[in-house]
Chains A and B, each alone.
Chain A
Amino acid sequence: MSADEVRRSKADELSVVRQPLARRDQEEKIAGTTRYAGDMVSPAMLRAALVRSPVPCARVTRRDAAEALKVPGVVEILFGEDVPHNAVWVDVPGQMIEVAPLKANMEILATDQVRFQGEPVALVIAETEEALVEACELVEVDYQDALGVFDPDEALADGAPPVHPQGNLLAQWHIDSGDVDAAFDGADLVVEGTYQTQPVDHAYLEPEAGVGWLDDDGVLTLRVSTQVVAHYRDVARILGVPEARVRVIAPYVGGGFGGKEDMTVEPYIALAVWRTRRMVRMEWTRQESLQARAKRHPMRMRYRTAARSDGTIVGQDIDITADSGAYAYLSALVLLYSAVHACGPYRVDNVRLRARCAYTNNPPTSAFRGFGGMQVVLGYESQIDQVARQLGLSGAEVRKRNSLVKGDVLPVGQPIETEVLLGQTIDAVCEAAGQPPVPSGPRRAAGRAIASNMQSYGRLVWLNDSAAAWVGYEPDGSVRLRCGVQDVGGGQASSLAQITAELLAVPMDRIAVHFGDSALNPEAGTTTATRQLLMSGNAVHDATVQLRDRILAAVAAETGELPQSLRLQDDHVVGPSVRLPVTEALAVCRRRNVPTEGLSTFFGPKGITVTTQLRAARVFPDFTFGTHLCDLEVDLDTGQVFLLKYIAAHDVGRAINPLSVQGQITGAVAQGLGMALLEEVVLEDGSNLTAGLFQYLLPTATDIPDIEVIVLESGEGLGPFGARGIGEPPIGPPLAAVAGAIRDAVGVRPTVLPITPERVLACVQQAPVTLHGQ
């Protein structure tokens, strides 16, 4: 059997995987003993904080720390000139040189220009929090305001003030497949729509924090809240030290959602440790997190969709503009995700897509759960609904008619290589929902809608992704698992243990997972892009199989049994005439010079880098499909929306831990509902008006209904046991399900997020006269 076949076991052969096991990390979190990055705190540590620009666009004409340095307890104040290499570089792939540089940079500490409100200008290091706060206020920076630009379309217009010297167009992507003009000419129906999403904050409960120190052998060590321990390499470049002399430890993270994919506190703690040679702690306030850390891209999406009278979609003509904010970060890739996902889980033969993202003087935008693949759900699902309504067909019917099936090819050129259960997810939510809602009173209207989506799991194939894991027995038969995975709360570490528990038949409580350490663990890569189960899951699977097979082979050689007749069961090696405790099998291994450990690296699917004109045999490893259903009621006088019922169905391939799968889905739905109805980073000429949780509206327990989760298991995914990734996929459909249900209730479709009561009322005003006040 190939490794791929070995990994895809049948569901009924599994005894630990697929069990809804209460996670061990939960137990300590609930006991209150988990030590998060910010929980290492002592008076002996130095404190560090940033002085940030209060203005969004200015030349910096003077920086002076003399007064601040007089504050008792201040140790050092650093400006950009004090940073050995004052830049972080990011790849901007696939762009022609005249459009944008292939690499873009931003300063660690801005020197002569600031481009967004909250950009760091100085780093203050002090003995106490009090000295720190006082000194930050006394650092003198003179700003000479310059003309900024705050809208991506304006930024791309002739004569716009350039945010960067090379112009404001950061990246663009095109898709041209089939004959779009002929498809539209021959269509029975063309529907158009323009949709607008807003900037959104990750708002994880744990603000950015960490501690750093110089460890033995001069290794600069950072213990920080991050999704990416591999940023130790960026830190090494900034300091000009060998990568091997920097180590990043990620303890359990208090939520990431993409917001801890780029560096946050890392370079600053590292600089402070490097300069002072002491232990330094930094914790961003919620206000600076909301003000200055990268947001979700707001997108303006114009869709024209051509259909036949039977509901078949024959063409899509799509134009997307995204706001990248002041620096590149991951914008080019986020926009690429938008482009590839823009037609949704449907077969469309004729597609024209133009997508661009522009620099502005707004806060930067970057990774956020869904990563550009989720904003477009509002576009393509609203269009599908419109097609269905105008043709008098059901939304479910039109979706199923157009659903991708295994063997179809995406507009970008990538074939779908695994079974697609989209139709089953549609049937599942519709059957579970029962009768449509009825209004509870005379000035209420009720509505229902479904929304389907697809979302990739695993990183872009040309990034040559890999993950490694080590699994080893202790002599007492307990097991250690070493894997550099960052556990951001999704049960990443626990799921890996569950895979090993399955394969070695070892109880979960006899497995220790050592995770989140760039120095002591095999490199697992980032906890982003819904990739950890696919990548580290397969690596742990393969390392465990290697270990298991070594033990069985050693026992076979010792006893004369055939290796394939032996198996591990209840902490024993068991065969036709053998029942040997694992502890004795391990002793056999030691006598026979057989290692009692396994180490494996899993390499993701490969592909070549795309160019601006997107045409690729493969962009992503694979996709996860799902459908949501939303019932809601609208108060026609106030515009308030009451969510009545929410059902989410996804094919997760194989549910390694059904509780964790369910948690990922309900959490993503809640975050999607927050974006649909409440959340918005409000910017006024680059000034953030929502830099506090009083202003930035997060969904509370009274806003989110009980969410019913339906898990389908095709066993077709590329992860261990046929699992697909599920971290990001459920966040997109709520946008369109809510918008569609409001359309169903009041007769007019909201197209701008968030769908505030004011916007609902605007829909009611435009609606048929029966809805207006009496």
Chain B
Amino acid sequence: MSRPLTVTITVNGHRLTRSADGHLSLLRWLREVANVTDPKYGCGEGVCGACTVLMDGQEISSCIVLAAQADGCEVTTAAGLCESDGSLGPLQQAFHQHHAAQCGFCTPGMLMCAVAMLADGRAGSRAGIREALHANICRCTGYGPIVSAIESARDAAEVAEPGVAEPETAEP
């Protein structure tokens, strides 16, 4: 047995100090210790993307990161994208409008992957979005609605902040 540790992780804005045995993955810590169950277990080896969260802004597979590695970090999960009253945030609304969830099991991971690609400019085209989604598996939708949702969230963000995400279109 590994030595018991205590970690402090800020999850969706809530600072939590809890035990975390040395071998415990961040995914299991979130689900079983912190009772944050929207990140899902899908493969346990960082392939399917169902456990995707942001750790200090970085997109990671929480099943292959130790809780101990997240000590002192900020973790954002899909539930953290909701507004303070629990209603859907803008990206989530785009997913809803485009019917981008069916069984919904991949959805929390897909959302966090989308947040990351929208933040670092990889969502410029449908092909770019598909490329950025390559490590998140969906078995229900055929991906098209997810791509469309991310596209429309990108466009809505550009309307809100014109020019930020598309400097290359500026006229000479």
Cα-based distance from A27 to B79 in the complex (angstroms):
12
Q: Considering the chains assembled together, what is the distance between the CA atoms of A287 and B47 in angstroms?
A: 12
For residue B131, CB closer than 8 A to chain A, the reply is: yes
A554 to chain B, nearest CB (A): 39
Q: In the bound complex, do residue B108 and residue A706 qualify as a contact, i.e. CB atoms below 8 Å apart?
A: no
User: Known: A30-B95, A693-B48. Contact between A38 and B143, CB under 8 A?
Assistant: no
Which chain B residue shows the least CB distance to A26? B101
The residue in B38, B43, B134 that gathers the most chain A C-beta atoms within 10 A of its C-beta is B43
Inter-subunit contact B99/A659 (CB<8 Å): yes
Q: Which of A96-130 contact B (CB under 8 A)?
A: 129-130
Shortest Cβ distance from B135 into A: residue: A700
Q: Does the CB pair B104–A254 fall under 8 Å?
A: yes
Cβ-defined contact, B92 with A206, below 8 A: no
CB atoms of A204 and B103 under 8 A apart: yes
Chain A residues with CB below 8 A from B92, complex form: 30-31
Are B139 and A203 touching (Cβ within 8 A)?
Answer: yes
Q: Does B88 sit within 8 A of A, measured CB to CB?
A: yes
Query: Hey, what's the 0/1 contact readout for B48-89 against A, CB within 8 Å counting as 1?
Result: 101000000000000000000000000001110110001010
| A641-659 contacts to B (CB < 8 Å) | 659
The reply to whether B32 and A41 form a contact with Cβ atoms under 8 Å apart is yes
> Are A204 and B105 in contact, with the CB atoms below 8 A?
yes
Contact, CB under 8 Å: A43 / B48? no
Given contacts A26-B96, A255-B103, A663-B99, contact A670 B143 (CB under 8 A): yes
Q: Are A206 and B142 in contact (CB under 8 A)?
A: no
Chain B interface: which size bin? 35 or more
Beta-carbon contact of A253 and B103 below 8 Å:
yes
Whether the pair B103, A663 counts as a contact (CB closer than 8 A) is: no
Q: Mark A368-394, 1 if CB is under 8 A from B, else 0.
A: 000000000000000000000000000
**Which of A238-246, A483-491, A588-596 is the interface stretch?**
A483-491
Inter-chain contact A701/B143, CB cutoff 8 Å? yes
B157 CB within 8 Å of chain A: no
Contacts of B97 in A (CB 8 A): 22
- Contacts A30-B111, A31-B88, A255-B139 known; A489 to B47 CB distance under 8 Å? no
Among B40, B105, B136, B142, which residue has its beta carbon within 8 angstroms of that of A707? B142
Interchain CB contact under 8 A, B102 and A701: no
With A27-B88, A700-B134: A693-B45 Cβ-Cβ less than 8 Å: yes
Interface flags, B113-131, vs A, CB<8A=1, else 0: 0000000000000100111
CA distance A22 to B108 in the complex (A): 18
Report the bound CA distance from A22 to B95 in whole Å.
10
Is A586 at the interface (CB under 8 A from chain B)? no
B140 at the interface (CB under 8 A from A): yes
Please tell me if the beta carbons of B42 and A207 are within 8 angstroms of each other in the complex. yes
Judge whether A491 and B102 touch: CB under 8 Å: yes
Across chains A and B, the number of contacting residue pairs, with CB separation under 8 Å, is: 176
The residues of B that contact A694 with a CB separation of less than 8 Å are 45, 47
Do the beta carbons of B101 and A205 come within 8 Å of each other? no
A23 to chain B minimum Cβ distance, whole angstroms, is 7
Q: Which residue of A lies closest to B146 (CB)?
A: A701
A33 to B144, CA, bound (A): 24
A678: min CB distance to chain B, Å: 12
Pick the contact of B44 from A30, A286, A662 — CB < 8 Å? Answer: A286
Of chain B, the residue at the smallest CB distance from A491 is B102
Q: Which of B31, B81, B103, B106 counts the most chain A CB atoms within 10 A?
A: B103
In angstroms, Cα B28 to Cα A659, docked, is: 34
Distance to closest chain A CB from B163 (angstroms) = 28
Given A31-B88, A701-B146, A702-B131: A663 and B102 interface contact (C-beta under 8 Å): yes
Complex interface: chain A residues within 8 A of B136 (CB): 700-701
Q: Is the CB of A255 within 8 A of B96?
A: no
Decide yes or no whether A671 CB sits under 8 A from chain B. Answer: yes
Q: In the bound complex, do residue B134 and residue A205 qualify as a contact, i.e. CB atoms below 8 Å apart? A: no
Q: Is the CB of B43 within 8 A of A286?
A: yes
Interface contact A671-B48, CB-CB below 8 Å: no
A29 at the interface (CB under 8 A from B): yes
Is A34 located at the chain interface by the 8 A CB criterion? yes
CA distance A379 to B95 in the complex (A): 38
Most buried by B among A205, A285, A286, A707: A205
**Distance (Å) between the CB of B97 and the closest chain A CB?**
6
The answer to whether B145 and A254 touch across the interface, beta carbons within 8 angstroms, is no
Note all chain A residues with C-beta closer than 8 A to B102. 26, 489-491, 663, 667
Find chain B residues with CB under 8 A from A490 CB.
102
Contact B140 A255 (CB under 8 A): yes
Are B37 and A39 touching (Cβ within 8 A)? Answer: yes
Contact indicator B105/A205 (Cβ below 8 Å):
yes
| A42 CA to B100 CA, complexed, in Å | 30
Given contacts A205-B105, A206-B40, A704-B142, contact A693 B99 (CB under 8 A): no
Q: Which residues of A contact B146 (CB under 8 A)?
A: 701
- The reply to whether B134 and A702 form a contact with Cβ atoms under 8 Å apart is yes
A662–chain B nearest beta-carbon distance, Å: 7
Which residues 17-50 of A sit at the B interface, judged by CB distance below 8 A?
20, 22-23, 25-27, 29-36, 38-39, 41-43
A701 to chain B, nearest CB (A): 4
Chain B CB within 8 A of A698 CB: yes
**B41 is contacted by which of A32, A38, A700 (Cβ under 8 Å)?**
A38
Tell me if B105 and A254 are in contact (CB < 8 A): yes
User: How many angstroms from the CA of A633 to the CA of B111 in the assembled complex?
Assistant: 32
**A666 interface residue, CB < 8 Å from B?**
yes
The docked-state distance in angstroms from the alpha carbon of A287 to that of B44 is 9
CA distance in complex: A510, B21 (Å): 46
Chain A residues with CB under 8 A of B107: 29-30, 32
Which of A20, A35, A670 gathers the greatest number of chain B CB atoms within 10 Å?
A670
Contacts of B104 in A (CB 8 A): 25-26, 29-30, 34, 252, 254, 489
Q: Is A257 an interface residue (CB 8 A)?
A: yes
The residue in chain A whose Cβ has the minimal distance to the Cβ of B99 is A659
Distance between Cα atoms of A33 and B77 in the complex (Å): 11
Given contacts A32-B79, A205-B106, A286 and B99 within 8 Å (CB-CB)? no
The answer to whether A669 has its CB under 8 Å from any CB of chain B is yes
Known pairs A39-B31, A257-B139 / 10 extra A-B pairs, C-beta < 8 Å: A29-B103, A30-B95, A33-B79, A129-B28, A489-B102, A694-B45, A701-B129, A701-B130, A701-B138, A701-B143
Lowest 4 A-B CB distances belong to which pairs? Answer: A489-B103, A29-B104, A32-B38, A254-B105
Could you give 11 example pairs across A and B, Cβ below 8 Å? A32-B108, A38-B41, A205-B106, A205-B139, A206-B42, A254-B40, A286-B44, A659-B99, A700-B143, A702-B134, A707-B142
Binding site for A on B (CB under 8 A): 1, 21, 28, 31-32, 37-38, 40-45, 47-48, 50, 77-79, 81-82, 86, 88, 92, 95-97, 99-108, 111, 126, 129-131, 133-147
